[in-house]
Amino acid sequence: LSGVAVGGLNAFLVVSLNLQPFIVTLATMSIVRSIVYGILKGIVLADFPEKFLDLGYVYVFKIPLLFLIVVGTAVIIIILLKKTVIGRYIFAMGAK
């Protein structure tokens, strides 16, 4: 709900004041982070699970596992975009 409110504020500022969307988004992010930090006084509400944190220390043949996951995901996306009908459609439409 708060994300919708901040998004609406961003949209209002961009449309009504004709400001650059990227700058408005960065500014509101900074403001919201400051407000949350002030309210919570730097307290962390949730921690990552131990298994998730351990992924950063796993190596396969001296290559970090997270790097292999990123490369694998990129390869799958490239194949999907170049070899499927929907991928060609996305390229043709210029979708982001």
Q: Find the helix packing angle between 21-40 and 2-17, rounded to 10°.
A: 140
- pLDDT tens track of the chain, all 96 residues? 889 999 999 999 999 999 999 999 999 999 999 998 889 887 877 777 888 778 888 899 999 999 999 999 999 999 998 999 988 888 788 756
With H, G, I as helix, E, B as strand and everything else as coil, classify residue 45. Answer: coil
Which residues make Cβ contacts (< 8 Å) with residue 91, sequence separation at least 6? 81
pLDDT given for residue 14 in this prediction:
94
